[in-house]
A = this chain, B = another copy of it.
Amino acid sequence: YGKNTIKFLRLHREGKQHFVKEVEVCAHLRLTSPQEYLEGNNSLVIPTDTIKNIVLVLAKKNGIPSLEQFAIDICNHFMTTFCQVAYVKAYVQEVPWQRLHEDGVPHIHSFICVPDGIRFCEAEQCRNGPLIVFAGIKDLKLMKTTQSGFEGFYKNEHTTLPERHDRILCGELFCKWSYGECKDFDFNCIWKKIRECILEAFAGPPDCGEYSPSYQKTVNCIQMLVLSRVPQVQIIEAVLNNTFYNVVDMKNLGLTNDKEVLVPVEAPYGSCACTLGRKKFFEA
């Protein structure tokens, strides 16, 4: 049980300059005894209202140096303070405020919301177990208008899809990775580096791109690049929900449409997911 979408803004001031971190926190607990479920005995139950208070107090006391550090703080607090807690999980998601710029000059206290991929993290711990930290990005929508195809696939009597060597590849990406032992990581810096890896692996070189033979292969390229460039990442999961773009057939309208007008097909949408770790791999 727990409290979801605890939303708050942490404002930090350095002189006249302001820094904001608005987050949404979900904190979930499992207790050592299920007596509240079976007997209606609430004596060990930490109310979700108290959970919310604790999250706010930690934000006040510690600030939010990084989402990951804040999630770790929450786990540590519950494990240290309450012996009836058997398991704790903290999920933290950021509202993507960016500092406003006027003619290139950063504004000291004004911000704009720019949701081009949402940063989140998760920390979880079982009593007597290790603290595990995940981080990720979601709602990242990307498109490449060429250098993508899908050919040589399995065919049978239910196949109506034609082979294509030049199509649009468009999708919403979700990536989540786990860190190993988190000794003094600069979580903010690592996250930015991983985001750059994802974009680079998706798009390829800026002057020519790189051919993608399938959504699956693109997902794998993203994972491989992150694992090769960022040693702190142990396992990376990626899900790509893709939107197909159909070239509109304009023959009966008397026109030739050379992939100039395309219609997005939002439902149904395809999805491919893969989890890749060091040395071993899983696929889901």
Binding site for B on A (CB under 8 A): 1-12, 16, 18, 20, 22, 28, 30-31, 34, 36-38, 40-50, 52-54, 56-57, 59-61, 81-82, 84, 97, 100-102, 105-117, 140-147, 150-154, 156-161, 168, 196, 199-200, 202-209, 213-217, 219-220, 241, 245, 248, 250, 252-255, 257, 259-264, 266-274, 281, 283-284
When distances are taken between beta carbons in the complex, the residues of chain B under 8 Å from A31 are: 283
Which residue on B lies nearest to A82, using beta carbons?
Answer: B154
Question: Which B residues are CB-close (under 8 A) to A100?
Answer: 142, 199, 203, 206
A48 to B153, CA, bound (A): 11
Query: Which single residue of chain B is at the shortest CB-CB distance from A205?
Result: B102
Whether A206 lies near B50 (C-beta < 8 A) is no
A171 to chain B, nearest CB (A): 11
| Docked CA distance A197–B101 (Å) | 12
Of B38, B60, B200, B266, which one neighbours A255 at CB under 8 angstroms?
B60
What residues of B have a CB within 8 angstroms of the CB of A9 in the complex? Answer: 168, 245, 261-264
Nearest neighbor of A255 in chain B, beta-carbon distance: B60
Task: Name A149's closest neighbour in chain B (CB-CB).
Answer: B42
A53 contacts B270, CB within 8 Å? no
Determine the residue in chain B with the shortest Cβ distance to A241. B4
Interface pairs A-B: 4 shortest CB-CB: A113-B141, A110-B203, A1-B272, A48-B270
* Contact A145:B20 (CB < 8 A) given known A56-B250, A270-B4: yes
Chain B nearest Cβ from A102, distance in angstroms: 5
Min distance, Cβ A28 to any Cβ of chain B, angstroms: 8
11 contacts between A and B (CB under 8 A): A1-B271, A1-B272, A8-B262, A34-B274, A36-B214, A37-B217, A50-B161, A109-B147, A110-B199, A110-B209, A112-B143
